[in-house]
Amino acid sequence: MTTSPRQRILDLFDGQRLTPVQRRIARILVEHAGQAGYLSSGDLATLAGVSQPSVTRFATALGFEGYPALRDQLRVTIDGYRHGPPTADDAVEHPAVSEVEQALSGEIANLQRLSDTLRDTTPLTEAARLLMGSRPLPVLGMRAAGALAGAFAYFAAKVHPDVRLLQEQGSLLADRLEQARAAGAVAMLAFVLPRYPREAIEALREARAAGFLVVTVTDSPVSPAASESDIVLPAPVGSSMVFDLHTAPMALVTILLQAMCDSAPAETQERLEAFERSVATRQVFLP
């Protein structure tokens, strides 16, 4: 099946970890797929609204010696060293695939990869048992992962008696870890996603040094966080748009919560019923 120039350029970037500026440049190349192999670095910088050095850094981030080498590869990728820019006679009609469609298709694939990983339920089951049994339960999330950590902590508090969301850094974070350990915590859940904050990796090391068993949700079993964790729960992250898509990690949040509930069904049911009675009495939610 013949693929469109847009799709062939997207395939060239597939799996690459790019900064938001670099993704902007990639997006411009996709939008101008027909001429992508014939744009100068200055032309591309102008179209993307970035500096020429940013275009050079983009090329080297993809593994090329510089932008000319990337441009040569784009010519090969798009039209197999056709001499000269494309003409109207060269045009072949392809169904247009929008950036949104492409991104959502990628997220469907990421969810399938997550499903394939979870066929072996052992790591998930062990993580759930460990987290449910840790009193208190510290939950770490920094920068991009902060929202996922917050969502997990919000729902986990409905079935766990003492969930502590950790988003401090430096000595304040060390204080919180020491306090949780002194209170009886044996495990910590961490969310560490690209672009992998240095302080998050350091926090994992501090937690393990303090005696915690660390369960980490990250994008890959070989991410920098994996080597600092006792149990790794990988969920791929979409990188086709300016900012990452966290569809699979968000799904894993709910799946992990379900596994925790399943690990202690009687206690979970009791706490959920108590919560429902409380919110009904306080009329927290609209009827």
Domain ranges, residue 268: 104-282
CATH number at residue 117: 3.40.50.10490
Query: Which range (44-53, 82-91, 123-132) has the least confidence?
Result: 82-91
When divided into structural domains, the chain yields a total of 2
Cα separation, 248 vs 110, whole angstroms? 6
Do 89 and 135 fall into the same domain? Answer: no
Do 155 and 38 fall into the same domain? Answer: no
Do 156 and 68 fall into the same domain? Answer: no
Residue 235, burial from CB neighbour count under 10 angstroms (0-12, 13-18, 19+)? buried
pTM: 0.75
Q: Residue 62's Cα: distance from chain center in Å?
A: 19
Do 141 and 47 fall into the same domain? Answer: no
- Residue finishing a domain among 97, 120, 135: 97
Do 21 and 91 fall into the same domain? Answer: yes
DSSP letter (8 states) at residue 226 = G
Do 55 and 87 fall into the same domain? Answer: yes
In a domain, 287, yes or no: no
- Residue finishing a domain among 97, 121, 136: 97
Structure tokens at 168: 């401090």
Do 154 and 196 fall into the same domain? Answer: yes
Do 139 and 75 fall into the same domain? Answer: no
pLDDT in tens, 61-76: 888 898 988 988 888 8
Cα separation, 282 vs 105, whole angstroms? 43
pLDDT in tens, 189-232: 999 999 899 999 999 999 999 999 999 999 999 899 999 999 99
